[in-house]
Amino acid sequence: MAENLAVVLLGFLGYVIGLYKWVIIASFIFSWLVAFNVINPSNDFVRSVWQALTALTEPLLQRIRRFLPDMGGLDISPIILILACLLAQNLIYGVAIPAARGL
């Protein structure tokens, strides 16, 4: 019973990480749309979506940016965060869940 719970919780964690990858991608695309003035950031809906995406992604992106060298206008922290999410998912699905099942 405890093994099944562990597998379900690990699967849920992998799913949440997968959703977070899409939030990072949405934040990245949204920032480009705002930067190139494709969407108007003074619109209330756009501003609320932007604030939500920023609140979800910036805490982790700021930690990554502290360790990156200054590259001018190039920000590769979202790519590094997506790669970290992929690594975490691979560890969950490839190592943790099989270990919880006892394989």
Residues of the domain holding 86: 2-101
Phi-psi region of 43 (alpha: psi -120 to 50; beta: other; left: phi over 0): beta
Total tally of structural domains belonging to the chain? 1
**Residue 65 buriedness (CB in 10 A; 0-12 / 13-18 / 19+):** middle
At residue 4, the pLDDT reads 86
Q: What is the pTM of this model?
A: 0.89
Per-residue pLDDT of the chain (103 residues; tens, 9 = 90+): 667 899 999 999 999 999 999 999 999 999 999 989 999 999 999 999 999 999 999 999 999 999 999 888 888 999 999 999 999 999 999 999 999 988 6
Residue 24, CA atoms < 13 Å, CB-side half-sphere:
20
CA-CA-CA-CA dihedral for 62, 63, 66, 71, to nearest 10? -50
